[in-house]
Structure 1
Amino acid sequence: MRVLQLGNDNWEKKYTIPEDMEWHFNDFSFEEKKATKKKGIKSYDVILVTGKTNLTNDQLKKLKQLISPYHVLYSSNLNTELDDHEKYFLKSIAAQKIKEEPQYLIDRLPIRYFSGQSGLRIFPSQLKLNEHIVNSYEFEEQGHLKVNLDTHNEWVNLGTYKSGVFIDPDKQINFWLSLKNFNFQVRLRIFIQQPGTDGDVKEQRVIDLSSFDKDEYFSQIEASDHYRTTTLNLEVKGSGDLSIGVLHSRWGRDGAGNFIAGGQRIVNPQNRDDIAYYFNPGDLKPPLNVYFSGAREAEGFEAYFLFKGL
């Protein structure tokens, strides 16, 4: 990960920098010349603006080409120190205010601003039902399973998903379940298998899916330096009808965005289906280009690099 810090106080001399993080302090001009000789200017994963940059307008324009929107972070007390060109740079790149202590922020950069995106759908047809507790069930279509049952005010295992989830090293996992529910409490029990073990699962998480917050995922599995696999059980408590939708498993970014940094969601509170959207400010001038992603198996922003290039 390449990080560029612009300001007066070099964080590299005050805080611990991860070994795999390439830290640059106020050396944008040097890096530009050095990289040009190698036939291509290297981009940055994150830019931290902690003080006045002292860069010219032309330099800021070149710098903007080396960083993605929402990957620039700036200290919240800078507004009075920056000139108009610097303020425009921060606005046009959708820079985000720093709200955390420097060391904590540095440690979280790798799990927030990595390259790539990943998301998959686990359809309710993959749920192996515990038919002994279900009065009746029907697939309304591939994306929804309607069940009728009475748990007699006890938690019961409604079923196990046939498809487990692979957790990549150094990646958080967010789970989101679409469902229509009025009479049930719902929770997800996640059995986590460590690599090289004998199959004895010692780690598990129980995630409450009954509450609703459109801005948060119900579950976030923290990142680890090794891969893991999971088995998922769906547990319910209540009586009546319950419509179960798609279970989504997505790489998380620790609050920096959905799928990619800056990605956001619109959530339907009735069935918790969601739509992801992303705004690239570009040069903040017309025309506004709007692109609707095509249907595909993987979840994420289709054609992201194509439109970023515009």
Structure 2
Amino acid sequence: MARQFKVLQIGGIDETTYFIPQKDTEWHFIPSIEGVSDIDALAEWKPFDLIYVQAPYSEMLMTVFERYSEPYSTYIDQMYWNEQFKNHSLIQQKVIRPFVYQDDSDRHRKLKAVAFPGQYGDKVSPIQCQVNADFKGASHYEGNDVLVVQGEFGTEMRPLLSWKQNLIYDHHKIIQIWPQYTVSEGVEVEYVFHLVPFNSNNEVDTVFVRRQDDLKVPLEISPREEDAYIVVSMRAKGQGVIRVGAIHKRWSRLDMGQFILGGERYVNENTDEFIHYFNPGDRKPPLNVYFSGYRSAEGFEGYFMMNKLQSPFMLIGDPRTEGGAFYLGSDSYEQAIKDVIQKRLDELGFQREDLILSGLSMGSFGALYYGAQMQPAAVVVGKPLVNLGTIAENMALVRPEDFGTALDVIYKNTGDLTDESLTMMNQKFWNKFTHTDLSKTTFAISYMAHDDYDRQAFDMMLPILSRQHARVMSRGVPGRHNDDSSTITSWFVNFFHMILEQQFGRRRENVS
């Protein structure tokens, strides 16, 4: 049976019947918390994905929150949100927030929109984009990542681009659409989104037109009763250069989070993006940061694995290119990643020695690259990838036609695919890793002995770590990069537990 989104409503008018049509939502209603004789009895319904409260402050309510609330899961109706709630220490610990709405209709819409299990995001690559035959300028693709169009677009908005692949609107969801693009001065663009219901004989149902200023935030399409195609095109005017990236589609949770409740996103001036989520756990050291690996589906990775550690943790994901761009970008982009980690360290009152960075495969690059800059207590990685130029070069003979994303990452960061560019990308990592003090950092590395992506990663790191007297725990596993992921993940988790117990006094039996 598919997982359901479990809601506990406390107080107010019972919303259960309103949510019966949503078969993936399980709704439980308690008229008054004071009427519950045994709070422990609520355990048969847990865990709750959302606790919605329409009741005044009470100590019994706080007891329910303490036992059953997860961070970001609990919302107090705006009619009851007051200083007693705001000033209680549990509100900060569980990240409990007010549920804000305009009227009853908006309240129902919002509850219905966010009450679904899981997360979902995908994208349409610019490789699926085609230029209008009447356009007389120049255009070219930069791999699968960017379409560059240059020339005279006219003095009025004219059709310029269309996409051969459509996005899909999933019924009963609020769909978030976010196109990536940049334009040179003197160019204006607008995106046109046509909704075509599946059973409509290609008749357009609704049209959304969004100009540049409108697209600084994603378009959100309200819930509908049936699935539909989202047909995308672009119009432009002026003269100059347009760089067109992917068009992202996500299930929205409105102002309650990106992908999951509490999720956030960062976007810089070049529309480079990363997503991040912070769970304060028990607010005791360390803060465990997990960088997501390569994933073509957009969203957070590693939530349940990190949550089982019962320590504060962060998830960071890179939804760029086909499956991620290895957390590299402009100075502002890379600084933003360090800033969101430092912000949470400060919020918890932790120091750098209370930080662990971790990741698998592509995520290992993020953990090692930023670990060299932040000098954490430990770095825990599996299947390490550090020589991005070598990974791209290996696509020619070692892994024919496999993992072309590496080429997109090289081009994105250097502007070409020459031998010099490949060397430059390798050196980008080593410049950070070699010229820093790693003597107080523990490195726990599980690696594939015959890795066909980056065979020398561990062998090249070990002498540097040895010279710096860093503590190294390692485990080699026979096979190529994509072989035996279960063993690598097992060692990844084992190393985490060893460090948590030895350096932070967190015994494994307490976090199982």
Please give the TM-score of this superposition, normalised by the length of structure 1. 0.83
Q: How many residues align?
A: 293
**Would you say 1:43 and 2:47 are equivalent positions?**
yes
**Would you say 1:204 and 2:203 are equivalent positions?**
no
Q: 1:111 aligns with which of 105, 110, 113?
A: 113
Name the structure with the higher helix share.
2
Higher RCO (CA < 8 A, seq sep 6+) = 1
Residue 93 (structure 1) shift: 1.7
Q: 1:33 aligns with which of 34, 38, 41?
A: 41
Residue 79 (structure 1) shift: 5.1
Residue 101 (structure 1) shift: 5.1
Change (3 A) 1:161 1:184: same
Name 2:301's counterpart in structure 1.
302
What secondary structure, in the 3-state scheme, does the structure 1 residue paired with 2:18 have?
Answer: coil
Contact 2:6 2:46 survives alignment (8 Å): no
Matches within 5 A, 1:82-97: 87-97=88-98
Code of the aligned partner of 1:3? V
Contact 2:7 2:52 survives alignment (8 Å): yes
Name 2:288's counterpart in structure 1.
289
State the Cα deviation string for residues 139-168 of structure 1 (Å, max 9, x = none). Answer: 223211111121221212112111111111
What secondary structure, in the 3-state scheme, does the structure 1 residue paired with 2:287 have?
Answer: coil
Code of the aligned partner of 1:196? N
Residue 131 (structure 1) shift: 3.5
Matches within 5 A, 1:260-275: 260-269=260-269, 271-275=270-274
Contact 1:2 1:23 survives alignment (8 Å): no
Matches within 5 A, 1:234-273: 234-269=234-269, 271-273=270-272
Contact 1:170 1:225 survives alignment (8 Å): yes
Residue 46 (structure 1) shift: 1.9
Q: 1:129 aligns with which of 121, 128, 131?
A: 131
Code of the aligned partner of 1:189? V
What secondary structure, in the 3-state scheme, does the structure 1 residue paired with 2:259 have?
Answer: coil
Name the structure with the higher strand share.
1
Name 1:187's counterpart in structure 2.
190
**Would you say 1:3 and 2:4 are equivalent positions?**
no
Residue 134 (structure 1) shift: 4.0
Residue 188 (structure 1) shift: 1.4
Name 2:18's counterpart in structure 1.
18
Residue 284 (structure 1) shift: 1.8
Please give the TM-score of this superposition, normalised by the length of structure 2. 0.52
What secondary structure, in the 3-state scheme, does the structure 1 residue paired with 2:304 have?
Answer: helix
Contact 1:143 1:246 survives alignment (8 Å): yes
Matches within 5 A, 1:214-233: 216-217=217-218, 219-233=219-233
**Deviates further, 97-106 or 287-296:** 97-106
Q: 2:161 aligns with which of 141, 154, 159?
A: 159
Code of the aligned partner of 2:302? A
Residue 254 (structure 1) shift: 2.1
Structure 2 CA distance, aligned partners of 1:29 and 1:163?
Answer: 56
Residue 174 (structure 1) shift: 1.3
Contact 1:172 1:223 survives alignment (8 Å): yes
Q: In angstroms, what is the RMSD of aligned CA positions?
A: 2.7
Change (3 A) 1:302 1:16: closer
Greater Rg, structure 1 or structure 2? 2
Residue 47 (structure 1) shift: 1.5
Residue 190 (structure 1) shift: 1.3
Change (3 A) 1:147 1:93: same
Name 2:315's counterpart in structure 1.
none
Residue 297 (structure 1) shift: 0.6
Residue 135 (structure 1) shift: 1.1
Identity over aligned pairs, percent:
27
State the Cα deviation string for residues 44-77 of structure 1 (Å, max 9, x = none). Answer: 232134322432876543213xxx4212112566
What secondary structure, in the 3-state scheme, does the structure 2 residue paired with 1:11 have?
Answer: coil
Structure 2 CA distance, aligned partners of 1:248 and 1:164?
Answer: 11
State the Cα deviation string for residues 16-51 of structure 1 (Å, max 9, x = none). Answer: 961424423326665742754xxxx43223213432
Contact 2:7 2:49 survives alignment (8 Å): yes
Residue 2 (structure 1) shift: 4.2
What secondary structure, in the 3-state scheme, does the structure 2 residue paired with 1:109 have?
Answer: helix
Structure 2 CA distance, aligned partners of 1:157 and 1:83?
Answer: 51
Structure 2 CA distance, aligned partners of 1:189 and 1:83?
Answer: 43
What secondary structure, in the 3-state scheme, does the structure 2 residue paired with 1:148 have?
Answer: strand
Structure 2 CA distance, aligned partners of 1:210 and 1:181?
Answer: 12
Structure 2 CA distance, aligned partners of 1:212 and 1:111?
Answer: 22
Q: Which runs of 5+ in 1 are unaligned?
A: none
Q: Which runs of 5+ in 2 are unaligned?
A: 21-26, 310-512
**Deviates further, 222-231 or 72-81:** 72-81
Structure 2 CA distance, aligned partners of 1:56 and 1:96?
Answer: 14
Name 1:61's counterpart in structure 2.
66
Code of the aligned partner of 1:205? F
Contact 2:16 2:28 survives alignment (8 Å): no
